[in-house]
Structure 1
Amino acid sequence: MKIGYVVAAATPFEYLATLDPERPVSLYDYVVVDHVEVEGGELANVRLLGQIIRLYRDPYSAKRDLPLYSVISEVSNNILEVHLAKVKVLGYLSGGELRQPKQPPRIGAAVYLADDEEIAELFRVKSGLCVGRLATRDVEICLDLEGVKRHIAVIAATGSGKTWFSVVLIEELLKKGAKIVVIDPHGEYVPIRDSIYKLGPFSARVVKVSKHHQGDLMYKIGVLDSEPDALANAAGVPPGAKKIRYAIYLAWAYARRVRKELGKAVGLAFMQKVLYTALRGEAALNKLFQQLKLSGDFPTEDLKMLAKRDRHAIFSALTYLKKLKRLGVFAPRSTPLSKILADITIVNLAGVNEEVQDYVVSHLVNRIFQARVRQVRELKGVKIPWPVVLVVEEAHRFAPPKALRKTKSYEAISRVASEGRKFGVYLVVITQRPSKVDPDVVSQCQSQVIMRIVNPKDQEAVRESSELLAQDMLENLPGLDVGEAVVLGPVAKLPVVIKVRDRVLEYGGADIELSTAWRVDKTADVVQMWRRLYKSPPPPSVAVAAAAMRVLAKRRVGDRVEVEVSDGDKRAVVTFEDGVPVCSLCGRAGCPHVYKALEEAVEVL
């Protein structure tokens, strides 16, 4: 369908077209121009593909000083309006390849809407990750799986759909057989485990770092697998508290000596024992190390001296070690990678402070990277036999600019960004603040998925990190709808604007719907039903406990209603028969599982 003509500024890279006002087109749509190009010394007729990157309207032949309002109001219906489009030249297809023209299109050449078949051919890939469709057409867009090897950055303002896109990307990667590890600061990806069956026979595992949050197993870090300063940071010891840090260092050094000589797995408990013994005096300390039967004299002079001169430092060090022990993350041995990894492993970091999160991410990423190095180079030690995709949500927490603050996880993530391709560790960085992610990390992510961005600093950070993002597209980013994204880099043959498809897996990152969360009538119905069942109002503790639970499924079986409730690592099925609830865990007693089930089932009872 003809929509206009080339009128000005025609170069091999872009041109200006005037459009038929009766045939409106959309921003980012694709157009073609009949073109003559020189190939092999001969003239060849080709169809030159282009993309509309700007649309605007101007009055025809208006002077620079536009008429005053009083004049316009009289003649507004008679002003001729010109519809204009700025078109970026993409190239022409020849032998299945997209080639760049050496000649500009002819002024006056007719501009046509590109056929769906031409656009589909333009983006066709052998092994694709089908994440959505064109924003302007019903044409499926699949990203190139091989482009994942060059790393991906997903960048968007809050509420633009970045987590939605990341879940869709995870689904597509799983279908291709990928092994995925998700770094999840808030536990938003945990629901994937309970909905993975919807996608297929894949295994999903949630690894937690706080015993109070959801997970299949705890991630443990071997105390002696790290540096004592890192332990002090995780415990919250102030940077200037040098004597306290020194006491922790001494206890750690003695624990390490014991492991080296005796092969015993020792951890925080042994470090505490060393410091407690030091407070009891020199004789008690000598007796402890004699009992251990270490070879040679054990150097305890520094610890004895600290105990004499600054007992307060040792008391404080013990307090911090107790705090570290309560976290439950640190242990004599690290959790084996073989127990952690599945088709998709979600590392639920919720419930611990940023220092511990930083430490866990650094420790885990380094272990994964080293295991892949051993596999590729055929070295001894723990190996991972297949490539791993590492998805880092809220990357600005773990890899901020070095001038802003230093994190341990930055070093691990930066190493994956720069060297991971060689060893089969691929990075997907997700952030809503690209200006607060180290530019070296973002620049290593050659493929970018950019959704709506409003903040000028973030727009500038995106522009500096991407050589492929044209200025016109950058200016259009605030106008993207929720779920729309500009995709560019090795995963796409050309920069393309897509609408992300519907997801299959669940996630917990959606905004709270206040009208539902604050529904007074629903709460009143639950309380009324509870009163009818138990002859008293529900205790506040029951309602609070129920608020932390999730409903996994609700179904009707004949006259019976069943509600499946998730309570941390437990599952409860509440069955309503003749209006009477029975909890599979608690029986007929009024419990938080029944309260949660009433919230979901009260309207059908």
Structure 2
Amino acid sequence: MSEGSNLQDFVNELSSFSQDEAEKQDITNSENQGLIGHVAEIAGSGSSIIIDAGRLIELGECQDPALQMSGQVGSQVKMAVGRNWLIANVRTMHAGQGGKVIAKVDFLGEGTRDEHGKLSSFKRGVTRFPIPGAEVHPVTTEDLRQVFAADDRPHVEIGTVYPTDDIRGALYIDPMLGKHFAVLGSTGTGKSTSVSLILHRISEHSPEGHIVMIDPHGEYAAAFKGAGEIFNVDNLKLPYWLMNFEEHCEVMLTSSDKERQRDADILAKCLLEARQRNKLSEQYGKVTVDSPIPYLLTDLNSIIVNEMGKLDRANETAPFQRLKTKLDELKSDPRYSFMFSGMMVGDTMAPFIAKIFRLPANGKPISIIDISGVPSEVTSTVVSVLARMVFDYAIWSRNEAQRPLLLVCEEAHRYVPKDNSENMKGQAVRRILERIAKEGRKYGVSLGLITQRPSDLAEGVLSQCGTLLSMRLNNERDQDCVRAAMPEGAKGFLDAIPALRNREVICSGEGVNIPIRVNFDTLEAEKRPASSDPSFADGWRETGDEEGIIDRTIKRWRGHGK
């Protein structure tokens, strides 16, 4: 006999239960009125229940929004086991015979069932499963209030739990940041505003925190001008000598293949000598090519010229000439002045770390690093330096009072792409972000990844994020990627991802008690990023001052935003 016919026989048998048999159960009459089905199969994550479709239609007329949603995909149901209620999430549904619906469910947790049949003291995980034939009941708003109620751990509230309008959805700060998090969502879903809301809530909870955000589009300056410090090419003043050797190579080497390796060997020798000319090097004994010891560009240039002068044949001087030409370009091009400027170099490492990492925060715990004005040729290197500084500082400050750091990376798929070609630029930033994802939690470094294309992220990085906040994803490849990364208990929400409204999110993983669907709070206008799409209809309706607009635009264009 087939599995389908066995299941249908069980459906028919359950349908023949009399009211007298139901009343024998240790459940109140009010709960019997809420009976919607029975357990058909218990198989861990693949358990099945059988629901009366007629009861679901009746519940759809209730005033309680939770009861209206009962039995639908993504909603919750409950089952009595001894003195406990088990809460399960509906993953899939398909039609059976005789007005029955067969649904796959994932168990989320359990709570105490008091003498009145009410749920209390809900906890994640299940200690005892129901048996086939156990009754299935709808979950009420009061039940959801117990399930989603935040405990005493430090947390931030970000919105209301779907489908209610008053149950607050909370993210637990330590589990979320301790094991990294990712915010995923297609363009236009309200992702930037939602990220701003989360960071504002965290900043309000911990005004002496330490958050560094990489902002590639200049969106977030408007959102945090009152709650953080804004850095861009005008005031960042990133010391070039903070780059390690790999980052120097990405900026200064223009050759490829065998020539690139030869150029790299020459650069390593000259760079080390330039660092050793600083008196600081005498204090630290062994100085390597990676040591963040200040050096003068003029020293590096003179060393290259001296080494070149030792050679006889012209073809042997080509690598030195390439390095010298690139060095001259970096010094003279105004686009690089935020990083390569001035003849005199001081040891600014301590004040740079203090201002970027918000040490102390002075009530402004977040640094927005606007890299929209950074030349595209060095963007990945700048991000690499900042990310590596976060990680290295955490490593070398292990014996000091703890100052955990959060690094938030917008457009993360740019810096940790799936393509792992060794010939591709940006390998330094990829390596450091992957290392933070794998090892950061040991040293108090948290990584927040924000992307509209999770399928383009390097494999393994998303899986290192303990908390996933998934907004609407329109691309099927992206949905499949999130499906693979989501914890088992959240799979019932997956079908809802393409149907989420703007500013709705499914939160799963370490940062929440159980997976939840949340409607984000409305963020105050002054705290929103400058990410709203322009209106073509309105913009094409307005006229006037076109000549002035063009003149001012050209001045900014030619002056590189100055």
The TM-score normalised by the length of structure 1 is: 0.69
Match of 1:465 in 2: 485
Q: Which moved more, 1:402-411 or 1:160-169?
A: 402-411
Cα pair distance change 1:412/1:306, threshold 3 Å: farther
Q: Please, which of 157, 171, 188 is the counterpart of residue 219 of structure 2?
A: 188
Shift of 1:355: 4.6
**Match of 2:311, as an amino acid?**
M
**Match of 2:367, as an amino acid?**
T
Cα pair distance change 1:477/1:488, threshold 3 Å: same
User: Which structure shows the higher strand fraction?
Assistant: 1
Does the CA-based 8 Å contact 1:233-1:355 persist in structure 2? no
Match of 1:119 in 2: 145
CA distance in 1, matches of 2:302, 2:537: 55
Match of 1:580 in 2: none
Q: Please, which of 530, 540, 551 is the counterpart of residue 550 of structure 2?
A: 540
Q: Please, which of 286, 290, 304 is the counterpart of residue 310 of structure 2?
A: 304
SS in 2 for 1:157: coil
Q: Percent identity?
A: 22
SS in 1 for 2:278: helix
Cα pair distance change 1:365/1:119, threshold 3 Å: same
Shift of 1:337: 0.6
- 1:197-596 to structure 2, matched below 5 A, reads 202=227, 204-208=228-232, 210-211=233-234, 217-223=235-241, 225-227=243-245, 230-235=247-252, 237-240=254-257, 241-242=259-260, 248-249=267-268, 251-259=270-278, 265-275=294-304, 278=305, 285=306, 300=307, 303-305=309-311, 308-311=314-317, 313-325=319-331, 326=333, 327-328=336-337, 329-330=339-340, 332=345, 336-342=352-358, 343-378=365-400, 386-401=403-418, 403-404=420-421, 405=424, 407-468=427-488, 470-504=490-524, 505-519=527-541, 522-524=542-544, 538=548, 540-542=550-552
Does the CA-based 8 Å contact 2:155-2:173 persist in structure 1? yes
Cα pair distance change 1:90/1:464, threshold 3 Å: closer
Shift of 1:226: 2.1
Matched, 1:92 2:110: yes
How far does the alpha carbon of each residue in 1:110-135 deviate from its partner, in whole angstroms, 9 at most, with x for none?
Answer: 62332335434444222221011112
Q: Please, which of 167, 172, 176 is the counterpart of residue 196 of structure 2?
A: 167
Matched, 1:49 2:87: yes
SS in 2 for 1:452: coil
CA distance in 2, matches of 1:481, 1:193: 25
SS in 2 for 1:389: strand
Q: How well do the aligned residues superpose, as a CA RMSD in angstroms?
A: 3.5
Matched, 1:35 2:80: yes
SS in 2 for 1:48: strand
Match of 1:136 in 2: 163
Does the CA-based 8 Å contact 2:357-2:405 persist in structure 1? no
Does the CA-based 8 Å contact 1:5-1:108 persist in structure 2? no
Cα pair distance change 1:547/1:501, threshold 3 Å: farther
Match of 2:23 in 1: none
Does the CA-based 8 Å contact 1:10-1:16 persist in structure 2? no
Match of 1:584 in 2: none
Instruction: Give the aligned length.
Output: 470
Shift of 1:469: 5.5
- 1:61-100 to structure 2, matched below 5 A, reads 87-94=105-112, 96-98=121-123, 100=126
CA distance in 1, matches of 2:313, 2:74: 75
Matched, 1:176 2:205: yes
CA distance in 1, matches of 2:318, 2:460: 43
Does the CA-based 8 Å contact 1:235-1:323 persist in structure 2? no
Shift of 1:305: 0.9
SS in 1 for 2:374: coil
Does the CA-based 8 Å contact 2:179-2:465 persist in structure 1? yes
Shift of 1:149: 0.9
Q: Which moved more, 1:96-105 or 1:128-137?
A: 96-105
Task: Considering Cα pairs closer than 8 Å and 6+ residues apart, tell me whether 1 or 2 has the greater RCO.
Answer: 2
Does the CA-based 8 Å contact 1:463-1:469 persist in structure 2? no
CA distance in 1, matches of 2:317, 2:557: 46
Match of 1:578 in 2: none
Shift of 1:473: 2.8
CA distance in 1, matches of 2:475, 2:399: 44
SS in 2 for 1:9: strand
Shift of 1:363: 1.7
Cα pair distance change 1:9/1:365, threshold 3 Å: same
- 1:10-25 to structure 2, matched below 5 A, reads 10-11=41-42, 13-19=47-53, 20=55, 21-24=57-60, 25=68
Does the CA-based 8 Å contact 1:17-1:87 persist in structure 2? no
Shift of 1:136: 0.8
CA distance in 1, matches of 2:96, 2:372: 57
Does the CA-based 8 Å contact 1:179-1:388 persist in structure 2? yes
Cα pair distance change 1:454/1:271, threshold 3 Å: same
Match of 1:558 in 2: none
Structure 2 stretches lacking a partner, 5+ long: 1-30, 61-67, 113-119, 283-292, 359-364
Cα pair distance change 1:49/1:261, threshold 3 Å: closer
